Structure 1
Amino acid sequence: MNKQRCDHCHLEYDASVLLRDTTFETPKFFCCKGCQGVYHLLKDEGLDTFYAKMGDETTLEPPKINLDDTSRFDLEGFISKYVKTNKEGLNEIALIIEGIHCSACVWLNEKVLSKQEGIVEVSINYTNHKAKIVWDGAVIKLSQIIETIRSIGYNAYPYDPKSGEERATAQRREYYSKLLVGIFATMNVMWIAIAQYAGYFTGMERNVKSILNFAEFILATPTLFYTGSVYFKGAYYGLKNRYITMDFLVATGATLTYVFSLYAMFTRSAEVYFDSVTMIVTFVFAGKYLEVLTKKKAVDTLDAFGSAMPSEVTLIKGDEKILSSVDSVEIGEIIEVRAGDKVAIDGVILEGEGSFDLSRLNGESIPVLSQKGDKILSGSICLDSVIRYQATNTFSSSMLSKLVTLLEDAMNKKPKIEKLANQISGYFSRTILLLAFSTLIFWFYQSGSFETGLIVAISVIVIACPCALSLATPVATLVGLGLAAKRGILFKEAGFIESMAKCDTLVLDKTGTITKGKPEVVETAYVQNFDRSLLYALVSSSTHPISQGIVSFLKESAEPLHVKHLEQVKTVEAKGVKALFEGHTLVGGNAKMMHEEGVELRIPPTLESLSHYFFAIDGVLVAIFGLRDSLKEGARESIEALKKLGLEIVMLSGDHLSVTQTIANEVGIETYAAALLPHEKAAYIEVLRQKGKKVVMAGDGINDTLALSQSEIAISMGSGADVAVDVSDVVLTNDSVKSLYEAFVIARKSLRVVKENLLFSLLYNVITIPLAMSGHVIPLFAALSMSLSSLVVVGNSMRIKNVLKRS
């Protein structure tokens, strides 16, 4: 029968069943209407260069027609679960696209989707087929996007982060079964090899030897093609993308040995090396399995966070208690948690008090007592009471959801040093192939035996596999990320570990970073009588710690407070608040604010060493408050430990000089600057960087965001302002200065271990490759030594787990 290819999917069919399309200059042939429709679509959109990119050898699945109804993608429940709304009000979703098997597929999907009206952004990751799509819901529906993807022969479904655990477990099971086959074959082939080596010295009948060779062949075949299938797959996709990987080297070494052994077995003209095939694949695969296990542990760390999130909460509506999905809870709704319940959504306690376990968030096992008015965070566990609280965030924007997202993103992004190691691996692999070929030629010429040349060349290929080089960075990075996450330290990208380790200067904000950020009124000076309710209304409009300290003081005072409605309330950044009330101008804030408003100040001696808050009515000072903020627990000891790491410590504060100096002396910081506005803090950091300093900045408030954005690494306290958390590179969920120290220790140890791994990998290859080329290493020992090198790298990386115990 005459076979002919479909012009779209390139699959072969009997020419008589193909649809002939004469609308083109040259007639085109299609296997179905779907392929014909896609071809016309690409032609009309000017995307027919897709076929040139795809090449002649690649085939596609014909478009699927009878798929499930796409209308479900527009249902409210589906959208609330999988679709996010970004800051611009656009919709965003992560999809897994089925059917992608080459870079041309990625190109096609991105081009076709980008041309659809209403789609703003499309980016597809070739390695995991994950697509990020941003679109305007008012112009195009999600169901239309899915239909577009299906119309060109692919399928899409929403990405579920929880499926990462399922995929990791499935991969571990698959690798485990393959490893068992390899171990079984290796153990048996070793006994046969012993018998053969014994017969080599004592004599063995030719028929017996042939039977043993065939037995080794039976054991080597499933090991190579089942256990070693992962290497053939990796080699295929590597070659397809013009990249020589370590999988290619393993597959080449094992296949050449296998083919030569087949030749030797059937011709009986040389020794067989089926035992080497089995051991090469099994030993190298054992290292691969270890890598999978390590990644599984990293996923387990992520899963430990995810498992802390319940799927339902108890809502209080009037006198009713309603069980509701966490995704449907809105800001302002009342939630009840009982002893043993996990908090799913951030909020503020309205009724009751109780102890909460925050170990999921900050790694600290000591429970924290929370009372009415206190914040509680998702991920914490109520231990001993019934609490009712008001939701201040939705489920997706609550603390634990944010942390899980951060950890996921960090594990998907590579540090610079890993990218460099991967580039070296690529050049390294090509070099090894060249050396192996040169070795084959040399030994064939030297000994006159192709067998000798081939076996030495195979030893070179196997012993030099860049497994250790490839594992050097990712394993250490994953272990470092996992340890940091358990200690409440979230790196937004793995690359920030490397960047932080290289920094030499730490800049700290005072309030909320070194101190608790909850100043208390300890001294007052009333210049004139005034209505305390006016001051209460003014300070209640601000979230600044000083203002909140005044709020707490006024609430605890004996004088009753009344509701006052202020007009034209204006917050002046880092200075204070001003407003109007029945024609009177109210101003509250620091000394700078008062000077700008023309208010004359006289500070009593008893208030000079305290933080000040001034209150003026119609340009006349009526009250001065002196506040003191206490140091965070262990702040002095942690800063001393940071100094011992060789860091230069600088403290910046918006507070006046006297208070800043007092705090600096208490914690042992010699370099500090006071009375700085947000832009002045940023300028200070810029000056440090111009001097060649590599700066880490730690802060917690909105006024710190400019300074945070100027530093190499920005660290925010988890309880800080959302905008500070957004611009930061590292988030400390437990707010302690000790976490800062631990972050530096983990980062530096991780980078040191990466460098040790890379140095070991390079030294290993410098020593072993010449040995293999000189014919002193047989393939069996080459595979064993290469696997041991991978185990050394992984074992060295695991030392990171103990770094905090030693420190």
Structure 2
Amino acid sequence: MTATGHDASERVELAISGMTCASCANRIERKLNKLDGVTASVNYATEKASVRFPAGTAVGDLVSVVRAAGYDAAPPRPESAGADVPEDAETEQLRLRVVVAAALGVPVVVLSMVPALQYPTWQWLALALSSVVVWVCGWPIHRAAAVNLRHGSSTMDTLVSMGVLVAYLWSVWALVFGEAGAVGMRHEFSVVPRQSTTGDVYLEVAVGVTVFLLLGRWLEARSKRRAGAALRALLALGAKDVAVLRDGREERVPVERLRVGDPFVVRPGERIAADGRVDEGTSAVDRSVVTGESVPEEVGPGDAVVGGTVNVGGRLVVVATGVGADTQLSRMAALVERAQEGKAEVQRLADRISAVFVPVVVVLAALTLGGWLLAGRSLEFAVIAAVAVLVIACPCALGLATPTALLVGTGRGAQLGVLVKGPEVLESTRRIDTVVLDKTGTVTEGRMRLVDVVLADGVRRVDLLRAAGAVENASEHPIASAIVRGAGAEVGELPAVSDFASTEGLGVSGLVDGRAVLVGRPRLLGQRGVELPPRLADAVGEAERAGRTVVAVSLDGVASGLLAVADAVRPSSAAAVRRLRELGLHPVLLTGDNATVARAVAAEVGIDAEDVIAGVLPTEKVDAVRRLQERGRVVAVVGDGVNDAPALAAADLGIAMGTGADVAIEAGDLTLVRGDLVAAVDAIRLARRTLAIIRGNLFWAFAYNVAGLPLAAAGLLNPVLAGAAMAFSSVFVVSNSLRLRSFRPTNG
């Protein structure tokens, strides 16, 4: 159990046991929310309550409220990882009840349905077997109904318990006091309630409904467990121990003892124990668990690594920068869990319906009983029709429709590097029609890169790069860093420079291998009396029109070439823009850069020139978003920097690149862990798919009741079939949600 301070309030998460349907969750939620200053959200699918309460309130008081409502609350148990996790004790006990109920109940149903097997006293054997099924296997149902009755409320257990007990007690009365106990009594199974008054028994109804309900609950519990497998796998990805370097020696310690600043060793095949920065060694790191990317990333000294990822190459020494709850993996898991606490608008509607659903069904069953009696039908027919109404009306599917889809969808998103903040985000993705893309760090890579080299006549490329790279290596300017990286990649180790000098804002100079080297803006060369030949001068104009920054190089006082640097467009950006259009979205490029550069980038990725908004300050980005909204657009913003945070917050949907600033991530509704714009396409696709599954679940849950209740009330449905349909509805909803596990990324 964890509680965190926030605006003079605290938050705790409680595991709730004893819930059997959505009505239970709604009831606990209402009880908790009646406390002063308490805001609670109870999730039936995850069986957890997220409660925010005033500082100073005892957590024990919250637990007491839950227990007073007839349920139990405790800190959530740590779960094992993976989809094939062992069943917990509660699920195992439920499985045992199903096995015993089926073993004893099937003979009862078969005897009741097949007259040829009905030996003279078969009904008394059926009563004995039914009694065990109803009172032993089905005891949790009746106990929950009694607890609800004691607290003046009703749930699905109330309906089922009433239906089962009415069928069972009617049969006992018919056997003991009526004609049904006579030797040689016969009757056949009928799809509709039987209309005779000769004292038939309905033990197959009591048994069948109990077996189907228990079976449905067991399958539901298994499916819900599978639905949460992705989150459990995410939570369990961290290393259990770590080899910490102390005085040059490795010491294996539990990962909980690792501290920020500790150096630790990661061997090939091991998981990286914490977020950190590589101090020694080079290797390839498989980051698929946090980004969904299948290709390992090469890392070396100075590169950041993420805890939970796998070292697939050489030995690394990493200095920890984030441990425990401060790791990216832990924050991802927290975001995924937090996303499952809220409720989408469609689920809030379902909750309001299920809150009054059970009392309405009880009234409807009473009206069915009275209506058939007034119509002149037998008491037996009227009672069994009322039982069918009680049994088929199950609010369980309504309660599972949203939480299970959200559980599977957010878990699958985490596997693909897409984090959803809450269910309301899903509804936002359906409405958006415009996507505003920040340029720097979103459409582009966010750092300058050497993209072109133009040589004067007679100059070798390797000589130009070697000299320019050596001089720029002594500078810390971003443009200099881009030239050094590009030159180093082509010529290898750069020579030393002497007599280095820097002219602020214009360029640098120095001696390399005895040659005078000048690197800077063409204007600097002009000031030093170095003229660019016509071909190089024309190349300067072309590069600047393309949005590139041009650096001129002179060797021994002679113009020798040009180096063009630019913030390179991400390789996937053009494909991402095309796919956004395929989703029916209108892309807009937004940047603080000048219009020339912005239009060049837009043209490269396929955004129309009229959809470029350039030269805007961070506060003006918000104004640009609002102007689009005033024109009737529903706007999503994709950004990564501190300057994007206000626009992300102002948008109808904020999508933050996880490679960016923490403030941008906090302001976003969706977070993309990997720095790839195609991930935004996957995020929108997954969110829309999850919402479609939720709506499909709710449609079938409502349709099932809309179709089933009139049939039952009209006396056209045997309670056994009603019980089967009721159990199937919940299993169907969970199984439908599990389809999200097969969601594939766009580039997968």
Structure 1 counterpart of 2:598: 660
Matched, 1:610 2:547: yes
Query: Is the Cα contact below 8 Å between 1:649 and 1:669 reproduced in 2?
Result: yes
Distance 1:132 1:161, change over 3 A: farther
User: Are residues 783 and 152 of structure 1, via their aligned partners in 2, closer, same or farther at CA, if it must alter by over 3 Å?
Assistant: closer
Change (3 A) 1:334 1:750: same
Q: One-letter code of the match for 1:780?
A: V
| Cα separation, 1, equivalents of 2:700 and 2:28 | 35
Deviates more, 1:395-404 or 1:715-724: 715-724
Instruction: Confirm whether residue 423 of structure 1 aligns to residue 352 of structure 2.
Output: yes
In 1, distance between residues paired with 2:335 and 2:166?
45
Within the candidate set 585, 607, 627, 2:565 is matched to: 627
Question: What is the one-letter code of the residue matched to 2:689?
Answer: K
Q: How does 1:445-484 map to 2 (within 5 A)?
A: 445-447=374-376, 449-484=378-413
Equivalent runs, 1:720-735 vs 2, <5 Å? 720-735=660-675
TM-superposed deviation, 1:672:
2.2
Change (3 A) 1:290 1:332: same
Distance 1:227 1:365, change over 3 A: farther
Unaligned runs of 5+ in 1: 1-81, 112-120, 540-544, 565-589, 591-601, 615-623
What corresponds to 2:439 in structure 1? 510
After TM superposition, the structure 1 stretch with the greater mean CA deviation from structure 2, 496-505 or 448-457, is: 496-505
* Correspondence 1:217 to 2:136: no
CA distance in 2, matches of 1:461, 1:105: 24
Q: TM-score, normalised by structure 1?
A: 0.70
* 1:35 aligned partner: none
Q: Note if 1:742 corresponds to 2:682.
A: yes
CA contact (8 A) 2:473 2:480 kept: no
- In 1, the alpha carbon distance for the partners of 2:49 and 2:275 equals 33
The structure 1 residue matched to 2:331, chosen from 398, 402, 412, is 402
> 1:757-776 CA distances to partner (integer Å, 9 max, x unpaired)?
32333333333322222212
Aligned counterparts of 1:563 and 1:391: Cα–Cα separation in 2: 36
Matched position secondary structure for 2:238: coil
Q: Distance in 2 between matches of 1:652 and 1:162?
A: 44
Mapped contact 1:313–1:335 kept (Cα < 8 A): yes
C-alpha change, 1:638 and 1:256, in structure 2 (3 Å) is: same
Distance 1:625 1:431, change over 3 A: farther
- Partner Cα separation in structure 1 for residue 293 and residue 322 of structure 2: 24
- Alignment partners' CA distance in 1, 2:92 and 2:230: 19
Residues 1:263 and 2:173 are matched in the alignment: yes
Question: Could you tell me how far 1:130 is from its partner in structure 2?
Answer: 6.5
1:288 paired with 2:217, answer yes
Letter in 2 for 1:662: A
User: In the alignment, is the contact (CA less than 8 A) between 1:414 and 1:494 conserved in 2?
Assistant: yes
Structure 2 equivalent of residue 249 of structure 1: 159
Verify the 8 A CA contact 2:15 2:77 in the aligned structure 1: no
In 1: Cα distance, 2:412 partner to 2:157 partner = 30
8 Å contact kept, 2:276–2:318: yes
In structure 2, the CA distance between the partners of 1:312 and 1:160, relative to structure 1 (3 Å rule), is farther
1:751 to 691, 699, 706: 691
The residue type equivalent to 1:771 in the other structure is L
The answer to whether structure 1 residue 718 and structure 2 residue 647 are counterparts is no
2:141 aligned residue (220, 231, 235): 231
2:518 paired residue number: none
Q: 1:228 to 1:512 in 2, by over 3 A?
A: farther
- Once the 2 structures are TM-superposed, how far is the Cα of residue 643 of structure 1 from its aligned partner? 0.9
Gaps of 5+ in 2: 20-26, 180-198, 455-467, 502-520, 522-536, 552-561
Do 2:648 and 2:668's aligned partners in 1 also have CA atoms closer than 8 Å? yes
Q: CA deviation at 1:710?
A: 0.9
Counterpart CA distance in 1 for 2:434 and 2:361 is 43
1:650 aligns with 2:588: yes
Which structure has more relative contact order (CA 8 Å, sep 6+)? It is 2
Letter in 2 for 1:628: A
Offset at 1:158?
A: 6.2
Distance 1:762 1:459 in 2: 17
Paired residue for 1:187?
Answer: 106
Corresponding residue for 1:496?
425
State the distance in 2 between where 1:806 and 1:376 align: 25
After the TM superposition, which residues 317-332 of structure 1 pair with which residues of structure 2 at under 5 Å, given as runs? 317-332=246-261
* CA distance 1:393–1:482, change in 2 (3 Å): closer
For 2:714 and 2:294, locate their aligned partners in 1 and report how far apart those are by CA, in whole Å. Answer: 58
Secondary structure of 2:326's match? coil
- Kept in 2: contact 1:244–1:426 (CA 8 A): no
From the superposition, tell whether residues 520 and 455 of structure 1 become closer, same or farther in structure 2 (CA, over 3 Å): same
User: Secondary structure of 1:705's match?
Assistant: helix
- Residues 346, 391 of structure 1: 8 Å contact kept: yes
State how far apart, in whole Å, the 2-side matches of 1:300 and 1:156 are: 22
What pairs with 1:760-799 in structure 2 (closer than 5 Å)? 760-799=700-739
Further displaced range: 738-747 or 470-479: 470-479
Residue 607 of structure 2: which of 654, 663, 669 is its match? 669
Preserved contact between residue 708 and residue 727 of structure 1 (Cα < 8 Å): yes
Q: Distance in 1 between matches of 2:18 and 2:390?
A: 32
**Of residues 216, 231, 245 in structure 2, which corresponds to 1:302?**
231
- Establish whether residue 684 from structure 1 lines up as the match of residue 624 from structure 2: yes
User: Partner amino acid for 1:277?
Assistant: A
Aligned mates of 2:350, 2:62 — CA distance in 1: 36
**Residue in structure 2 matched with residue 594 of structure 1 by the alignment:** none
For the residues of structure 1 that align with 2:745 and 2:472, how far apart are their CA atoms? 53
Instruction: Tell me how far apart the structure 1 counterparts of residues 380 and 365 of structure 2 sit (CA, whole Å).
Output: 14
Q: Deviations over 1:449-507 (max 9, x none)?
A: 22211101111222232333333333333232232222221212233223323322222
Partner of 2:265: helix, strand, or coil?
Answer: strand
1-side partners of 2:730 and 2:684: how far apart?
27
> 2:16 and 2:361 mapped to 1: Cα distance?
36
Task: State the shift of 1:330 in Å.
Answer: 3.1
Aligned to 1:444: 373
**1:366 match: secondary structure:** coil
The one-letter code sitting in structure 1 at the alignment partner of 2:128 is I
CA distance in 2, matches of 1:379, 1:755: 35
Identity score, percent: 28
Q: Within 2, Cα distance between the matches of 1:697 and 1:762?
A: 35
Deviations 1:734-776 (A, max 9, x none): 2222222222222222222222232333333333322222212
Q: Given the alignment of the two structures, is residue 640 of structure 1 paired with residue 578 of structure 2, yes or no?
A: yes
Aligned to 2:557: none
Change (3 A) 1:251 1:752: same
Write out aligned runs for 1:369-384 (5 A). 369-384=298-313
Change (3 A) 1:152 1:239: closer
The change in CA–CA distance for 1:631 and 1:243 in structure 2 (over 3 A counts) is farther
1:175 aligns with 2:115: no
Task: Report the residue type matching 2:432 in the other structure.
Answer: C
Tell me the CA shift for residue 220 of structure 1: 2.6
Q: 2:277 aligns with which of 327, 348, 351?
A: 348
Give the 3-state SS of the residue equivalent to 1:262 in structure 2. Answer: helix
